[in-house]
Structure 1
Amino acid sequence: MVKLTLYGIEISPPVRAVKLTLAALNLPYDFVKVDLMGRAHILPDFLKKNPQHTVPTLEDDGHYLWDSHAIIAYLVSKYADSDSLYPKDLLQRAVVDQRLHFESGVVFADGLRSISKPVLFLNQKVVPKERKQAIIEIYDFVETFLKDQDYIAGNQLTIADFSLISTITSLDVLVTIDHAKYARVSAWIKRLKELPYYEEANGKGIKELIPMFKKTNFTFASD
């Protein structure tokens, strides 16, 4: 019997990407909440599991993995009945990998984390306007990626969609986007929201994230 444990918090987009993947694979798992504000992630017991003290962290039969991109690729490679979520075809897989790196290096790092870390952890009230522009550029890229295709890496659902949707819907909490300008992005988000497991795996975490940012009263610097 598969014995998986996911360590994390609902508000974390990378954690939600793993939850989406686990749900798509219909894999049972235990979820252990990690109190980041209480610094539970730097306690000795957690550091033994993950010396980088990050979430998500996945335990599979006594083995520990971290970084959502590594985790979701591993889960599909080991447990999926087919390779549709992470194609074995080298060209198709390269496109999925590119989107995963885009999420990690651009959407999450340049977009979400560049705002959430100073606002939530450093009590910053005014965010440079360049950060807002970076998010708009991210939407421009995603709109381009979705040209002539239904999903982020082609015409089939992949782990790249799980990774991107968790972060893009989190960006929506930070910046009011004119979704009429991004028809493809809006259609893609709607398509993902129709997944039967979407609300539990991703929507719930978004709902928890909204009040956290609202109570900070942060603003973007004006011109």
Structure 2
Amino acid sequence: MGLILHEISASPPVRAVKLCLKELGLEAEYKLCNLLAKEQLGPEYQKKNPQHTVPTLEDGDFIIWDSHAINGYLVSTYAKNDSLYPKEPKVRAIVDQRLHFDSGVLFSALRNIGAKIFFAGEKEIREEDKQKVREGLAFLEKFLEGKKFITGDSFNIADFSVYTTASCLLVFVPELDKYPNVAKYFDTCKSSFKGISTDDEGLQAFKDLFKKATSG
């Protein structure tokens, strides 16, 4: 039995896992879980993932969710080397810090806005929520000083998460010109990730959802 990924293409965390799968040369069966239709609240899905989030990965009888945990598992289980999630403690600590930065700062700002726009029906982004996005992007801009990627000269699983989340934040607050390091980082990621063409489709799906949710 192969890998099964429960997903919706517009989700930044799903995009992060797809980037990791592509980088590792792994195939997976994709099963749509339409969050807007509340499919994640069905009893079968909640049995697999009580937090009813995407992505959720099945590997045989093993089930894991949260994109950061999924990607760490994929690299630890299937990678031929540890370049995407280095084992050296100090190097891994920096990667982990960036992963926690993504979940605790960048994605927190994204989820805060997304819940109001996609699920509560709000049409405008509140100014205080935009400011949270700007604060997160300002941190990212600082982290990228003198670096090609989020921790140095080569990319790792933290880049999959940071890139996908930040690209969606800039859909909400389109101010990329204020963050030259982030802009350069985006270009570097786009020219480096094997799965960037599929990822671009996911980003466009997110843009389309946002446009639909805020129109009218």
Give the TM-score range, shorter chain. Answer: over 0.9
Q: Which moved more, 1:113-122 or 1:209-218?
A: 209-218
SS at 2:128 equivalent: helix
CA distance in 1, matches of 2:111, 2:195: 26
CA distance in 2, matches of 1:52, 1:213: 24
CA distance in 2, matches of 1:14, 1:88: 23
Task: Choose which of 182, 206, 210 in structure 2 pairs with 1:209.
Answer: 206
Identify the residue that residue 120 of structure 1 maps to in structure 2: 118
What does 1:42-121 align with in structure 2 at a 5 Å threshold?
A: 42-109=41-108, 111-121=109-119
What does 1:1-223 align with in structure 2 at a 5 Å threshold?
A: 3-109=2-108, 111-179=109-177, 181-194=178-191, 195-200=193-198, 202-217=199-214
Identify the residue that residue 221 of structure 1 maps to in structure 2: none
CA distance in 2, matches of 1:199, 1:168: 17
SS at 1:37 equivalent: helix
Which of the pair is proportionally richer in helix? 2
**For structure 1, which runs of at least 5 residues remain unmatched after alignment?**
219-223
**What is the percent sequence identity of the aligned residues?**
43
CA distance in 1, matches of 2:52, 2:166: 24
Question: CA shift at 1:30, angstroms?
Answer: 0.6
TM-score calculated relative to the size of structure 1? 0.92
SS at 2:10 equivalent: coil
Q: Which moved more, 1:126-135 or 1:141-150?
A: 126-135
Moved over 4 A (4+): none
CA distance in 2, matches of 1:141, 1:152: 11
Amino acid at match of 1:216: A
Deviations, residues 33-64 of structure 1 (Å, cap 9, x unaligned): 01222222121211221121111000001211
CA distance in 1, matches of 2:176, 2:49: 40
Deviations, residues 84-109 of structure 1 (Å, cap 9, x unaligned): 11010101100000000010011011
Query: Aligned-pair RMSD on alpha carbons?
Result: 1.3
Question: CA shift at 1:123, angstroms?
Answer: 0.7
CA distance in 1, matches of 2:211, 2:47: 35
Closer, same or farther in 2 for the Cα pair 1:62/1:178, shift >3 Å? closer
CA distance in 2, matches of 1:131, 1:105: 15
TM-score calculated relative to the size of structure 2? 0.95
CA distance in 1, matches of 2:194, 2:110: 26
SS at 2:30 equivalent: strand
**For structure 2, which runs of at least 5 residues remain unmatched after alignment?**
none
Q: Report if the CA contact (8 A) 2:19-2:194 is conserved.
A: no
CA distance in 2, matches of 1:95, 1:33: 33
